[in-house]
Every structure is written in C-alpha cells, then in structure tokens.
Structure 1
Amino acid sequence: MPEPVALAALAIDAAVGWPAALYRRVGHPVGGFAAIIRRCAAMWNASSRSPGARRVMGLATVAILTGVAGGTGWLLTWLAHQALGGWSWIGIALFAAPGLAQRSLFEHVGAVRDALGTGDIEAARSAVAMIVGRDVETLDEAGVARAAIESLAESFCDGIAAPLFWLLVLGLPGLWIYKAINTADSLIGHREPSWRAFGCAAARADDLLNLVPARIAGALICLAALRGWRVMWRDAREHASPNAGWTEAAMAGALGLKLAGPASYDGETHVKPWIGDGRADAGTADVTRALSLYLRACALLWLIAGVAAWAR
C-alpha cells in the first residue's frame, strides 16, 4: 500500500508542532547538531590556525554532522521497520515531523502580526527578533512587517519545503542531514573573517542542498498567489544568497511589496538592493496576507506529498 510518510509528517507538524513543554524538557533535535557544531568550532576554529587548516576542519565538521544525522536517520528508519512492519511509515513520520516547521513558523510570524495589530511596536520588535538576525531596536512598523514577511518567505524553504524535499528523495536520513547542514550554515556559515574559512564548507553544502528546493518553493508561492512570477525571475538573484532570493522575490511579487533593502546587523548598516517594485510601507494587513499566502503554499506541499505517496 502507499506509505504517506511525508504527508503524515506534515499533518503531525501542523497539528502539534514541537510543544513548548517538550522543548523545555528535552530541547529540540537540532540542538544536538548545534552542540556538535559548537564543540568542533571550539576545538578547530582557533585564530592561530591557518585559513587552509580551518577550511579543512570545517569540512570535517560537515562530514561528522552528515554521518551523525544520516546514521541516526537510518537507525530510526530501521527501528521503525522492526517494530511496526508494514505500518513503519507511521513511526518514520513521527521521527520526521520535528524536522518540519509549519506550525512554529506560523506562530512566530503570527505573534508579530498580533503585536503590530495592537500598535505595540516594542512587542512587535521583540517578536520579530525571535526570527531574524538583524538589529530590531530602531525598526518602525514597516520595518518590522517587512522583516517578518522576509523571514516567512525564506523559512518556507529552509523550514518546510527543503526538508520535505529531502525526505521525499532520501527518506529520514535525507531530512536530518539537511537539518544538520542548515543548522551549521546558520551558526558558522558567516562571511566575517573569524568564520569565513571554517564555515565555508557548511555554507557551500547548504547552498547545494537548497538549490532545487528554493526554486520549487518560490514557484509554489507564485502558484499559490497566481502572480509574482515576473518579479521572482527578475529579482531572485539580487539577494546575497543564491537561494533565499527565490522565495523572497516570489513573496514580494505576490504581495506587491518591496522587501530586503538596507538593514542593520550588529550596529553596522548593510546596503542591500531592494527586491520587488511595490510598496515599502508594509503593515499589519500585509503580514496577514503573507500568512494566508503561506498557508496556501503549504497546502500545495501537502498535495505534492500526497501525490508522491500514491505514485509509489
């Protein structure tokens, strides 16, 4: 019979996510990857090492993460087959669901929308600080709204479309390898001199793993909105990332907004090009529209997961 692992994993994540009580007790699986990454960085990213040596050690870190994540995924799949036999897909889906972020992403961006809706800019800044890396202290309503929408667009790929893609392609090992590499990119894949060499392998691996999913995710946003294609094709490459621009440009075109642009990080303003040719004065209503579009794009992922199950 069909084994709807991906569809079931999406349903479990949408229904319960990763409950706060569980997080307080045991953390989250990506926390284990983060611990490995920080340990490797502490041992191997010393400033006394040459850039070449740090680059090699960064590659070793990625190899360790791949082995741990892939091996754990394989072991959990094997255990599910041993314990559940023909119903093993249920166990695999349970093990896969924590690697998806439909519910948590909606809740985080929803918190920004709710704070903006009450006119509480400080609460809105605090909420958006949970999902973006930029400085938020001086953001006005439009800046907060744009930051939330940009994070929603980018995380639609990183948090949902890409892990689902690798789950469909390589099973549970593929999903958790992706999550491990994506975590490494977020922690060490930076361009600052202290991280550039050591984090190079993580950044390039993350770029490679997101190459196809990012473009699929951008297309799904445009398909869900029935617009945005022109802006996506035109502006996707304006983003510093070779992949994040696809979903961000798709969202900008779909909503008729300008996203990206100058932003401050650690007190330093980074001049980045605008993406999109619409309004820059985003507000509460635009965050609401973005969340509605996000839900429709997620529904398309559910459709893909269902078709994939029956095609097998």
Structure 2
Amino acid sequence: MAEPIALTALALDAAFGWPRALYRRIGHPVGLFARIIDGCEARWNRPGYSFALRRALGILTLLALLVLVAGSGWALQHLLLASLGGWGWIGVAILAWPALAQRSLFDHVRTVGERIDASDLSGGRTAVGMIVGRDTAELDESGVARAAIESLAESFCDGVAAPLFWLLLLGLPGVWAYKTVNTADSLIGHREERWRAFGWAAACFDDLANWIPARLAGLLLCLAGGGGWRVLWRDARKHASPNAGWPEAAMAGALGLRLAGPVAYDGVMHDKSWIGDGASEAGGDEIDHALAVYLRACLLLWLIAGGALWLR
C-alpha cells in the first residue's frame, strides 16, 4: 500500500502545503521533534561532560527519539490499515502528508524572487533568511538569489526526494524516522565545538539517510533541467557535505550558474569552493528558471511513485 499512500501524500502537499490555519492550531510535527532535541541538548550537552560522554548522550537522544517516532508511526499505520480495511491507506497518507515540503519550498523561494523583482533587496534578504542558515544582512541581489537557488536545490532532497524515498521504502515509520534524523542534524549536527560530540550521531545518520536520495535528486534535476551532467559529476564532491553537493551541482549545471563560494555564518566567513560554471550574477529570472526545473523534477518523482504503484 506504500505507493497509493505516497501519491496521495504528494497530491495533498502540492495542493495545500501545510496550511497556516493548521500550523497556528497544532504547529508542525517537526516542531515537536525540535523541542525534544533542544531539551535533551540543554540537559545533556554540558561543557563539563567529557567528549565521549556527550557523544554517548547524543547517540542516546537520537535513538530514543527514533524509537518513539518510528514506533508511533508503525502503530498508527498498523491501526489504520487493520481497522479501516481498504480505506486505511488514506489515513496513512494524511499522516505522511506533513513530512513532504513541495509546496512550502516553492512558495518560500518564489517569495524571494518576487521581492527581487520588486527591487526590494531588504525584503529579499528577510525572505531568504527564512530558508537559509547563512548571514543575509550584507548579501547583494545576486547573493540573495544564489542563496535561494542553493536552498531550493538542497531542500529538493531533504524536503521532497528523501522523505518520498523513505515513505516508499518503509511507509509511515520510515518517512517520520527520516524527518527526525534530518531535524536533529539541522539543529545539532554541526562541527562547531559545542555540537561536535553531541551532534555526531545526528550528522552521521543524516549522511546515511540522504546518501541515495541526494544522488537521485541530482539525477532528476539534471533530467528536469535538460543538462548539467558534466558539472554534476565534476563538482558534486566539492561541497563539505557528502550529499548536498549532488543536487546543488545539478542545479548549477542546469542553470549555467556558479553557486556556493565564500559565505558567512554567524559573522565568520567560510571560503567554500564554487560549484558550477558561468556567471555568479543571478536575479529574479534565474530564480524563476530554478523553480521551473524544480517543478519538473517534482513531477518526475510523481512518475516514480506512480511507476512503483503500477509495478506492484
């Protein structure tokens, strides 16, 4: 039943995203994961603890959360399929729906493009600051546009391809276990001294969980963009992450842009390698082009889910 579940979840997300009314009333499941992780980090990631103890407590935090989330997902899926019979998969699809982010990612990036098109650089910085972790206050128009495009490419994996992959493979427990790991990595899976030990497990699990989806995302973006293969094979490994470089290099190649490069986090400049060829200048037109590639790549994921259903 995984495939009709996946197609229905994709359709719900494409049509509605995660409605603001729902967000105001109940929040989002990822927010609950974040609160649990933040609470454990505040309690257990103490400077006075040894590196080994903090790493062990980070592993314990992640495993406990995975057992809770995957176990709850399995129980709910089993209950719905057993109690509702042939209609139970619809309930499972509704519960899987918030794990996908096709619509919200498109809307966030489109907002950045609209601000740039309106010559509202300040608004563009604010809008892109909602989806990237880098410093945005000093970005020029090209910097804002590139940041939005990079986030679109990377989040195509984290927010769409990878959740769908794990939903198809392991159902409801699989997709929410993935979102747990991905949330933990975004919060604590950093190399800075504070998180290096406690977030080690989150970073490693996230790398493993995204290994196949990231490469699939890169291939799909090249197919959707009608090219970019040379840049994909050449530059995917230039990224510090073993996975994020694949969709980013694919998008850079498909658009004929240079992405990445030097970037500031918390006031500290990091001299990252450039990914891609061509100009580093970008604006609203490039964001529109990137969104068109993204939409076609999402449609290819729909075809994959539909193909899996047909094969079953």
Structure 2 counterpart of 1:211: 211
Kept in 2, the 8 Å contact 1:2–1:310? The answer is: no
Q: What SS does the aligned partner of 1:269 have?
A: strand
**Structure 1 counterpart of 2:52, one-letter code:** G
Q: Higher mean Cα deviation, 181-190 or 79-88?
A: 79-88
Scaled by the length of structure 1, the TM-score of the pair is 0.98
Alpha-carbon deviations, 1:40-83, whole Å to 9, x = none? 11121000100000000010011012111101111220221133
The residue number in structure 2 matching 1:122 is: 122
Q: For residues 105-129 of structure 1, give each alpha carbon's deviation from its aligned partner in whole angstroms, at most 9, with x where no partner exists.
A: 0000010000001000000000000
- Match in the other structure for 2:289: 289
Superposition pairs for residues 138-217 of structure 1, below 5 Å? 138-217=138-217
Q: Point out the more displaced range, 254-263 or 222-231.
A: 222-231
Matches of 2:260 and 2:72 in 1, distance apart? 37
Which 5+ residue runs of structure 2 have no aligned equivalent?
A: none
- Match for residue 63 of structure 1? 63
Aligned residue pairs total 312
**Runs of 4+ more than 6 Å apart:** none
Match of 2:95 in 1: 95
Task: Tell me what 2:73 maps to.
Answer: 73
Q: Counterparts of 1:278 and 1:87 in 2: how far apart (Å)?
A: 52
Pairwise mapping of residues 13-52 of structure 1 onto structure 2 (< 5 A)?
A: 13-52=13-52
Structure 1 unaligned spans of 5+ = none
Task: Give the C-alpha shift of residue 3 in structure 1.
Answer: 5.2
Instruction: Give 1:28's aligned amino acid.
Output: H
For residue 225 of structure 1, report the CA deviation from its aligned partner: 1.2
The alignment status of 1:133 with 2:133, answered yes or no, reads yes
1:25 deviates by 1.2
Amino acid in structure 2 at the alignment position of 1:227: G
2:258 maps to 1:221: no
Q: Aligned pair in 2 of structure 1 residues 171, 2: CA closer, same or farther (>3 Å)?
A: closer
Find the residue that maps to 1:264 and give its secondary structure.
strand
Answer whether contact 1:3 1:89 (CA < 8 A) is retained. no
Letter in structure 2 aligned against 1:77 = Q
Aligned to 2:86: 86
> Alpha-carbon deviation of 1:228?
0.6
Is the Cα–Cα contact under 8 Å of residues 181 and 205 in structure 2 kept in the other structure? Answer: yes
Counting aligned pairs with the same residue, the percent is 64
**What do residues 230-270 of structure 1 show as CA deviations (whole Å, max 9, x unaligned)?**
10010000000000000000000000000000001111111
- Given that residues 231 and 253 in structure 1 are in contact (C-alpha distance below 8 angstroms), is that contact kept between their aligned partners in structure 2? yes
